[in-house]
């Protein structure tokens, strides 16, 4: 079974409002302000999968600032996954309120408590409606600190309560600039992993290079429950990154991902097959690992 662990979809109605959304959604504007950046529907994901003989794909949401858009896109992802007969696996987004990040753990006033209860209610409803994970999150774009915040605690609660992996956008701190590079800092990702040891974390884009720090024993221990997806790998690293990360954290921690529609499933799969992996490593990375993680 071949499973893509990271692809983006948008409802056609959201795509139609693209120009309008650029003014109010900064994270969206950073990437999709470029007219060449493609937005895809669930049907287009399925077509790309069929061309490459990919069996299943995780479809992820985005770091929206608007609660209405979070709800609209979550509903679309859940609905399209249900219609796909299991071929699409839904990961949903979370809205923490307009003042996300403004309240620390010591806050006791009523407003933050109301927001927290609303988030819990929505996450519970999404989980019972079929959500299999949370993401792709961009905490820094959404205004909260994943290292130490109420928002981080709520994510950890939902992940544990409903067995939902948390997929976060992680960015390498060096290298060339590109639209959408700005993401979760490695120190915040590491701090979240240390503080929430029971949470399954999927760190996108090779975790921004975090696996390379696994040579430090304390880091290796902290990221023991973390997985690293290969989304956009061809734009960031030489193919030998597969062998280097396998040597550091093991093939069982790597999840093949296309980042569709940034590239097609066929091209992403071809690049991974050309990475000089053993048959067992290739089978694990291109489907076995995520199938085990999600109990597919």
Per-domain residue ranges of the chain: 3-293
According to the model, what pLDDT value does residue 179 have?
65
According to the model, what pLDDT value does residue 82 have?
98
Question: Domain 3-293 is of which CATH architecture?
Answer: Alpha-Beta Barrel (3.20)
Q: Give Dmax over CA atoms of the chain in angstroms.
A: 56
According to the model, what pLDDT value does residue 100 have?
59
According to the model, what pLDDT value does residue 107 have?
46
Q: Are 270 and 239 spatial neighbours (Cβ–Cβ below 8 Å)?
A: no
Residue 202 CB partners (closer than 8 Å, separation 6+): 5, 6, 133, 135, 165, 166, 167, 168, 226, 227, 228, 229, 255
Averaged over successive runs of 10 residues, the pLDDT of the chain (296 residues) comes to 97 96 93 94 98 98 94 98 98 82 46 70 94 94 88 92 95 70 82 90 96 95 95 89 97 98 96 96 98 96
- Cα–Cα dist 187/208, whole Å: 11
Cis ω for the linkage preceding 261 (within 30 of 0): yes
According to the model, what pLDDT value does residue 112 have?
55
- Cα–Cα dist 72/67, whole Å: 9
- Where would I find the beta strands (DSSP E) of the chain? 3-8, 56-60, 88-92, 133-137, 166-168, 201-203, 226-229, 254-255
């Amino acid at each position: 079974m071949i499973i893509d662990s990271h692809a983006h979809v948008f409802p056609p109605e959201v795509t139609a409002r693209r120009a309008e959304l650029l003014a109010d959604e900064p994270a969206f504007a950073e990437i999709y302000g470029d007219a060449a950046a493609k937005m895809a529907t669930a049907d287009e994901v399925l077509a790309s999968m069929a061309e490459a003989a990919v069996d299943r794909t995780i479809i992820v949401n985005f770091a929206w600032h608007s609660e209405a858009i979070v709800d609209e896109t979550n509903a679309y992802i859940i609905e399209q996954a249900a219609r796909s007969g299991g071929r699409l696996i839904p990961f949903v987004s979370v809205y923490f309120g307009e003042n996300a990040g403004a309240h620390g753990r010591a806050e006791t006033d009523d407003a933050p408590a109301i927001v927290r209860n609303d988030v819990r209610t929505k996450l519970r409803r999404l989980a019972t409606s079929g959500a299999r994970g949370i993401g792709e999150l961009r905490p820094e774009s959404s205004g909260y600190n994943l290292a130490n915040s109420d928002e981080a605690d709520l994510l950890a609660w939902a992940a544990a309560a409903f067995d939902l992996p948390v997929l976060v956008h992680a960015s390498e701190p060096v290298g060339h600039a590109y639209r959408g590079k700005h993401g979760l800092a490695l120190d915040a990702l590491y701090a979240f992993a240390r503080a929430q040891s029971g949470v399954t974390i999927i760190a996108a884009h090779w975790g921004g290079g975090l696996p390379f720090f696994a040579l430090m024993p304390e880091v290796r221990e902290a990221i023991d429950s973390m997985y690293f997806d290969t989304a956009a790998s061809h734009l960031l690293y030489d193919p030998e990154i597969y062998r280097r990360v396998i040597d550091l954290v093991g093939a069982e921690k790597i999840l093949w991902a296309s980042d569709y529609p940034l590239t097609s499933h066929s091209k992403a799969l071809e690049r991974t097959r050309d990475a000089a992996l053993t048959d067992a490593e290739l089978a694990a990375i291109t489907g076995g690992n995520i199938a085990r993680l999600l109990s597919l």
